[in-house]
């Protein structure tokens, strides 16, 4: 009869959607109760596709020098072959690692075996505050006056650089308390073409990417003795797409990060990307160049270039970190 085809099509489509939702709910229920997991891609055993490059470096000794180095490959295994990390971070001791690929946060640890030697395995870090979020970068913050009682969290930059959240690492004692705060955008350059207020109402003539955004986060080594997470949160360093690097703080009674001190005004590095800035020591900041071929070392007090690490020509880094006397 006329008019029945649309009704029939709609009914079939809605039933199919209901069946799919029911199957998905059943799958996640069984996975939560029984630990069952159906992976389309098995755990990666191909250790050549993804690798960390470890270099032994006396960071203060690289000042005012252009150091060319050789790299030692560390075999790594990711939870699945689809993992494409965009940044890596580690603690000051070089024992704890985190990485992000834009959607998932990973936590890594070293392993030793007779067959593979020194290797590293990575697992997904589950954190409810990051569900469904786009991730830009991550850092590790550890605190506690006693080194045996230190607690470490991953500080994850998300929401297009507008928010920072903490996620306790799985190996740490206690349940931990998650903490989140927004990053103020008042200090960021939001101009497209003209600084005048009237020009902002016109159609933009330059790409949206020219707007300044926070893209990198790093923990401050000067704050390792801070006991509370809020205190360590005040020791965060952020970097923007315009090359600016600032240390931030929280104003009393406001759960928002504001710039406290400028480390670089963007002269040393015009463009920065995810995971491109890491604190190397109390006096130095490392900045990974856009081509991934070198790391510029900035003097923290003056913001001027103090040295440079040049990577081999056949290797390009997407991220780096420093810990335990090594750069990864």
Structure confidence by residue, pLDDT tens digits, 265-289 = 877 666 677 778 998 887 888 899 8
For residue 216, the model assigns a pLDDT of 92
* Residue 144, pLDDT score: 61
Residue 163 pLDDT: 92
d(CA 293, CA 31): 43
* pLDDT for residue 203: 40
Q: For 233-246, what is each residue's pLDDT tens digit?
A: 667 889 998 889 99
Rg (CA), the chain: 23
Q: How many helices (H) and strands (E) does the chain have?
A: 2, 21
Model pLDDT, residue 290: 84
| The dihedral sign for the CA sequence 296, 245, 54, 87 | negative
pLDDT at 214: 92
Provide the pLDDT for residue 196.
41
Length reported for the chain: 328
pLDDT of the residue at 249: 82
Q: Positive or negative, the Cα torsion across 95, 96, 101, 106?
A: positive
Do residues 123 and 44 make contact, with C-beta atoms less than 8 angstroms apart?
A: no
Residue 86's nearest CA partner among 289, 276, 282 is: 276
pLDDT value for 123: 92
DSSP state of 149: G
The predicted structure's pLDDT at residue 138:
94
With 0-12 / 13-18 / 19 or more C-beta atoms within 10 angstroms meaning exposed / middle / buried, residue 75 is middle
Q: Tens digit of pLDDT per residue, the chain (328 long)?
A: 666 778 888 888 999 999 999 888 887 777 665 555 554 433 443 434 445 666 655 554 554 456 666 677 888 888 876 788 889 999 888 889 999 998 899 999 888 766 656 788 899 998 888 988 999 999 998 876 555 567 788 999 999 999 999 898 886 555 556 788 899 989 998 765 444 443 334 444 444 456 889 999 998 655 655 555 566 666 788 999 888 999 888 777 677 888 888 888 877 666 677 778 998 887 888 899 888 888 888 888 888 888 888 877 677 888 898 888 888 8
């Amino acid at each position: 009869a006329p008019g029945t085809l649309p009704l029939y099509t709609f009914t079939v489509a809605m039933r199919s959607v209901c069946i799919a939702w029911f199957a998905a709910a059943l799958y996640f229920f069984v996975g939560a109760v029984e630990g069952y997991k159906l992976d389309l891609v098995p755990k990666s055993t191909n250790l050549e596709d993804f690798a960390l490059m470890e270099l032994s470096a006396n960071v203060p000794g690289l000042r005012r020098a252009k150091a060319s180095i050789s790299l030692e490959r560390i075999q790594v295994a990711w939870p699945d072959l689809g993992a494409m990390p965009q940044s890596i971070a580690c603690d000051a001791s070089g024992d704890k690692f985190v990485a992000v690929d834009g959607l998932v946060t990973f936590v890594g640890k070293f392993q030793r075996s007779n067959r593979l030697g020194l290797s590293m395995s990575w697992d997904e870090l589950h954190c409810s505050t990051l569900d469904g979020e786009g991730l830009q970068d991550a850092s590790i913050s550890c605190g506690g006056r006693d080194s045996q009682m230190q607690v470490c969290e991953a500080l994850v930059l998300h929401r297009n650089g507008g928010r920072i959240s903490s996620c306790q690492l799985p190996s740490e004692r206690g349940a931990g308390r998650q903490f989140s705060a927004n990053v103020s955008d008042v200090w960021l350059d939001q101009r497209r073409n003209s600084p005048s207020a009237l020009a902002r109402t016109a159609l933009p003539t330059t790409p949206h990417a020219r707007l300044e955004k926070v893209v990198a986060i790093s923990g401050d080594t000067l704050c390792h003795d801070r006991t509370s997470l809020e205190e360590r949160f005040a020791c965060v360093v952020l970097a923007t797409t315009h090359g600016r690097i600032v240390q931030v703080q929280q104003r009393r009674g406001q759960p928002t990060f504001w710039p406290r001190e400028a480390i670089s005004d963007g002269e040393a590095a015009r463009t920065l990307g995810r995971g491109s800035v890491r604190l190397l020591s109390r006096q130095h900041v490392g900045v990974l160049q856009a081509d991934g071929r070198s790391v510029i070392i900035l003097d923290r007090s003056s913001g001027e270039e103090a040295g440079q690490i040049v990577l081999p020509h056949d290797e390009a880094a997407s991220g780096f970190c420093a810990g335990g006397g090594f750069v990864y």
